[in-house]
C-alpha cells in the first residue's frame, strides 16, 4: 500500500466523483437487466448431440488416422486399389502402413454394427465419424483384406 501513496491510483483527480465506486456500479446494475436467451440459443441448448459408442478405441483410431495421413490417399482410392491390386497405389510402404490398419474381429464387429446404424438412422441428425471409422467402413466389404495386403 505504501508504494501506491501519492500515485494516480490513490489521488482522486476530480473532487466531484464519489470515493465509493462500488456503490456507483451497484446502482448502475439496476439499469441494465440480463437479456433473456434467444430462441436459437435455447434450441441449441435443448438439443443433445446424438450419442453413440465409438467403434474404435481412441488410441487405435489415432494410430489408424496417422497411418492414413502418411499415405495421403482417400479411402475410396485405397478400396479401389485393394480390389484391383494396383501396384502404383499399393507400394511396399503403403502396404506396410495398411497392414497396421486392418481390423481385428472385435473391430470388424463394431464396424459392422456402425454400418447397420448408419443404414437405419433413428434421427435425421448426422453422425460424426473419425477418419479411421470412415476408412474401415469403406474397406469393410473388401474380401480377405488381411491376406490381400
User: Would you say residue 45 has pLDDT above 60?
Assistant: no
Q: What single DSSP character describes residue 55?
A: S
Q: Which long-range contacts (CB under 8 A, 24 or more apart) does 125-131 make?
A: 125/49, 125/50, 127/50, 127/52, 130/54, 130/56, 130/61, 130/65, 131/61, 131/64, 131/65, 131/68, 131/69
> Do residues 53 and 112 lie in contact, with contact meaning Cβ atoms separated by under 8 Å?
no
Of 3-7, 34-38, 41-45, 83-87, the poorest mean pLDDT is in 41-45
How far apart (Å, rounded) are the C-alpha atoms in residues 45 and 38? Answer: 11
What proportion of the chain, given as a percentage, has pLDDT over 90? 18
What count of other Cβ atoms lies within 10 Å of the Cβ of residue 12?
Answer: 10
Residue 63 has a pLDDT of: 92
pLDDT, tens digit, 9 for 90 and up, residues 70-93: 999 899 999 999 988 889 988 999
Mean pLDDT, rounded, for 87-108:
90
> Do residues 104 and 85 lie in contact, with contact meaning Cβ atoms separated by under 8 Å?
no
Residue 24 has a pLDDT of: 57
- What value does the CA radius of gyration of the chain take, rounded to a whole number of Å? 30
Residue 144 has a pLDDT of: 86
Amino acid at each position: 500500500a505504501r508504494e501506491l501513496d501519492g500515485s494516480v491510483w490513490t489521488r482522486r483527480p476530480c473532487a466531484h466523483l464519489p470515493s465509493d465506486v462500488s456503490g456507483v456500479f451497484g446502482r448502475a446494475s439496476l439499469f441494465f437487466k440480463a437479456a433473456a436467451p434467444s430462441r436459437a440459443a435455447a434450441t441449441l441448448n435443448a438439443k443433445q448431440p446424438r450419442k453413440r459408442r465409438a467403434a474404435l478405441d481412441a488410441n487405435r483410431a489415432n494410430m489408424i488416422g496417422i497411418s492414413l495421413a502418411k499415405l495421403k490417399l482417400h479411402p475410396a482410392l485405397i478400396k479401389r486399389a485393394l480390389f484391383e491390386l494396383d501396384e502404383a497405389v499399393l507400394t511396399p510402404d503403403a502396404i506396410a502402413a495398411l497392414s497396421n490398419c486392418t481390423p481385428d474381429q472385435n473391430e470388424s464387429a463394431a464396424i459392422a454394427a456402425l454400418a447397420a446404424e448408419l443404414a437405419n438412422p433413428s434421427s435425421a441428425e448426422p453422425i460424426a465419424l473419425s477418419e479411421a471409422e470412415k476408412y474401415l467402413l469403406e474397406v469393410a466389404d473388401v474380401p480377405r483384406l488381411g491376406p490381400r495386403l
